[in-house]
Amino acid sequence: MGREEQIIEERIKKIEEMKKEGINPYPNNFDKKNSNEECIKAKLGAKVKTAGRLISKRDLGKIAFSKLRDFSGDIQIVFQEGQTDKKVFDFFKKYIDEGDFVGVEGETLKTKTGEISILVKKIELLSKAILPLPEKFHGLQDEEDRLRKRYLEIIMNNETKELFVRKAKFWQSMRNFLLSKGFMEVETPVIESTPGGAEAKPFITHHNALNLDVYLRISPELWLKRLMVAGFPKVFEIGRIFRNEGMDAEHLQDYTQMEFYWAYTDYNEGMKLAEEMYKYIAKEVYGTLKFKIKEFDIDLGKKWETYDFIEIIKKMTKINIMKTNLKEVEVKLKELEIKYDKKGFNLTRGIDNLWKYCRKKIGGPGFLINVPVNMEPLAKRSEKNPDVVERYQILIAGSEVGKGFSELNDPIDQMGRFAEQAKLRAAGDEEAQMTDYDFVEALKYGMPPTTGFGISERLFAFLENKPIRECVIFPLMKPETKVEK
């Protein structure tokens, strides 16, 4: 029998013994009055009542020490012969193990080493742990285990816990910023009959009640713009997005995204608001505007640059994308050793691959503008140059971490753009957008000039300087064993 199997057997035996003695190893509640942090800050000798997970246990005979952990932090608890009731001390020694949840009552004191602790007067087992915690000095070593058993990683690694505390602040600060600017938070459908709002391959499922094949949304954009038609002046949504595409350090298939839409204005005002929001979030969550992201030193507080899509590609690849053709782009991709998916490949995808090559050298922060019309089917044409659209992407550390534009509100132009996308789909481009006839009908009732903007949790991963999967609390993993369907 291995060491872990022996521990499990011993703990199950303890559970059985407690039940015979009338002790419930899994009681329904505990009146926790203080957090560990509050106990540490209390006056010496104060009576406290707290609860948490026992992280360590040292029994030295007449005295015992343990670390009790709750979400606010750790506190030492002390059992002292002559000061702790013998029954309480004996119960602790016999039945309590590392990993158990316990509740304790006692008085605060300072030990000889100067550590604020609780001298235990009463203890109650709240949940008996059958499996032992990972070895505390090394934690979970296997990368797959760290992500699959994230709850253990959070128990053993305070940095991981704090990362997800910051992530909660990240979304809450964004929400607070938009609410302070007069935006209203809304919810739109996650299941839809026609996915739209982005160029991505959707997940397909079946709606039994309607006997209808449906999709998980790839963006809430077209629903939110319907609310612009309805007359709402400022709306936003924070919700899950699903895209059945590749996985890498910057991309996942399901993630959280925020989109806002603002009537009676254009992408110039959108850029100003987005920049202000990024700075606000950075200050609220991290207390700084300076970050180390990949090989770049990023300062959100400096003047944000403006980058021209057409000119950057021309400068770095010698290709004029406004006058090029598919053959020329394919030759250049081969010359630059840029790998790409040949399925459904077309000129638009070729130009996009050239851009991805170019962007890696741009640190930012800044705005990418002047994208050709055929690359953005939902954005409004520029009044100065109708061959490009009023779209911007926020560039930080060689990648895009946010996109916005002046929204196309001409239903005839929109239908024509959808028709071009339909041709691309027919030629094998699975990421080309589907035609949403209901959305076009809504536009025919009139939508005011509007700017929209979207940002995903990729920004959070960038600010943390970590792969995005590390920043998802429970990323999708292949199961260790077969799952019964």
Q: What is the pLDDT of residues 377-395, one digit of tens each?
A: 899 999 999 999 999 999 9
- Mean pLDDT (whole number) for 336-359: 90
Can you give the pLDDT at residue 373?
Answer: 93
Return the structure tokens found at 209: 């009640």
Q: How far is CA 405 from the centre of its chain?
A: 23
Q: What is the pLDDT of residue 485?
A: 47
HSE at residue 323, side-chain half, CA atoms within 13 A, is 5
* Dist. CA 147–CA 133, nearest whole Å: 16
| pLDDT average, residue stretch 220-245 | 97
Amino acid identity of residue 29, one-letter, is N
Q: What is the pLDDT of residue 482?
A: 55
Question: Hey, is 44 helix, strand or coil?
Answer: coil
DSSP β-ladder status, 234-242 and 184-185:
parallel
Average pLDDT of the chain to the nearest whole number: 94
Q: What average pLDDT does range 356-373 have in this prediction? A: 95
Domain annotation for the chain: domains and CATH numbers? 3-133 (2.40.50.140), 156-304+364-471 (3.30.930.10)
**Which residue from 375, 366, 372 is spatially nearest to 393, judged by alpha carbons?**
366
Mapped onto helix, strand or coil, the DSSP state of residue 156 is helix
pLDDT digits (tens, 9 = 90+) for 116-151: 999 999 999 999 999 999 876 455 677 888 899 999
Predicted confidence (pLDDT) per residue in 16-63, tens digit = 999 999 999 999 999 999 999 999 999 999 999 999 999 999 999 999
- Residue 318 confidence (pLDDT) above 50: yes
Which residues are paired to 146 by β-bridges? none
Q: State pLDDT tens for residues 412-447.
A: 999 999 999 999 889 888 888 999 999 999 999 999
Distance between CA atoms of residues 383 and 372, nearest Å: 13
| Element counts in the chain: helices (H) and strands (E) | 14, 20
User: Residue 481 — pLDDT band, cuts 50, 70, 90?
Assistant: low
Per-residue pLDDT, 199 = 84
